[in-house]
Copies of this chain bind each other. A is one copy, B any other.
Amino acid sequence: MTVKVAINGYGTIGKRVADAVAAQDDMRVVGVAKRRPTYEVRTALAKGYPFYTVTEENRADFKKRGLEVAGLLPEMIEAADIVVDCTPEDVGAENKPLYAKAGRPVIYQGGEEAEVAEASFNAAANYSEAWGKRAVRVVSCNTTGLCRTLFPLYRELGIEDVFAVMVRRAVDPQDAKKGPVNAITPALKVPTHHGPDVRTVIHDLPIQTMAVVVPSTLMHLHAVAVRLKKDVTAKDVLALWERTPRVRLVDGGEEVKSTSHVMELARELGRPRSDMYEIVVWRDGTSVSGRRLYYYQAVHQESDVVPENVDAIRSMLKSEDDGRKSIARTDKAMGIPAPRA
């Protein structure tokens, strides 16, 4: 059976989820919805996605530009088995009644409050928590990044505590309006919300975070300090991550020294939209002294959550009960290499 997926919101995340869903052999895109007739609509139509608008006014704007509209948002929801809400922060919560009315299960993104859904989700950490749920939230790009590398440490080695500083890219690459141009802005409310957000997935992880925004568009970069419960070496930790899906190790000695090189690597890999779905950890930036582990990781905020959305669909619709198998299936379809066995 092919699951019919609708995507509400065709921005940074929505357009990627659409393509990721389209790449799976057990799912198809029955529609995408968007308000404004931008250049991205043209390329989406060329891919064959039926386009829905939110209002009749939107529909008229689309028609003026010769862009075909399949219908309005409620019609799209009706046509779907599940909806992935990829609207901007806090708009997802506003859409809730719409999905409820149609009786469709829905996936929200990490910009929403955890309360919007029955469970928060990261495929490797808590796949089964989404099992059969009607509303699930895929956690944010930063939280996804922290879960990916911390969960295997937590499960295999035990974690005493974590302190992470998130150095956040200011805006996504296409944005030409928001800044800062030349400033570093701390998130003054400390510890930041990222710690509690990780705990919506790994419920008892003692983690504290701080964050700053910097004038870059490419990736977030995390500096993470972990106190482990066991003595290990850096080599052990790296080996553990090599066996972890959606984590990629890179090497400053091969000139991957900056987020710009990580993005260039994604281009070289021939990824769609030059995306890096994996959380990228530097081998030579990982250090263990006693039980203290220090590492840097780069998070591609535009794309790391995309495969998680696909897995969430399978868990919610009970189409695959083994999270590992869902991850492997998603990743194969998306060209993400399997971890070392």
Q: Which residues of A contact B (CB under 8 A)?
A: 15, 36-40, 42-44, 65, 163, 165, 167, 169-171, 173-186, 188-191, 208, 210-212, 214-219, 221, 223, 225, 250-261, 263-265, 267-270, 272-274, 282, 284-287, 289, 292, 294-296, 298
- A55 → chain B, closest Cβ, in Å? 18
- A287 → chain B, closest Cβ, in Å? 5
Q: Is the CB of A173 within 8 A of B180?
A: no
Given contacts A39-B268, A170-B179, A181-B180, contact A188 B260 (CB under 8 A): no
Q: Give the distance in Å from the alpha carbon of A296 to the alpha carbon of B183 in the complex.
A: 14
Q: Is the CB of B221 within 8 A of A186?
A: yes
Partner of A263, one of B174, B177, B189, B260: B174
Query: Which among A180, A264, A270, A294 has the greatest number of chain B C-beta atoms within 10 A?
Result: A180
Given contacts A39-B265, A216-B214, A274-B273, contact A221 B171 (CB under 8 A): no
Q: Is the CB of B261 within 8 A of A39?
A: yes
Other A-B pairs, 7, CB within 8 Å; known A177-B180, A185-B257: A170-B181, A173-B260, A179-B179, A181-B215, A186-B296, A188-B296, A273-B274
Q: Give the distance in Å from the alpha carbon of A35 to the alpha carbon of B149 in the complex.
A: 34
Q: Is the CB of B258 within 8 A of A183?
A: yes
Q: Could you say which residues of chain B place their CB within 8 Å of the CB of A43?
A: 265, 268-269
Please list the 5 inter-chain residue pairs (A to B) with the smallest Cβ-Cβ separation, ordered nearest first.
A176-B258, A183-B260, A174-B264, A43-B268, A179-B179
Q: Is the CB of A167 within 8 A of B212?
A: yes
Q: Give the distance in Å from the alpha carbon of A215 to the alpha carbon of B177 in the complex.
A: 10
Question: What are 30 A-B pairs with beta-carbon distances under 8 A?
Answer: A15-B268, A36-B255, A37-B254, A43-B269, A44-B268, A165-B165, A165-B210, A167-B184, A167-B212, A170-B181, A171-B181, A173-B264, A175-B180, A175-B181, A175-B260, A178-B181, A181-B217, A183-B218, A184-B214, A185-B259, A186-B296, A188-B282, A208-B225, A208-B292, A208-B294, A210-B225, A210-B296, A212-B223, A273-B274, A274-B274
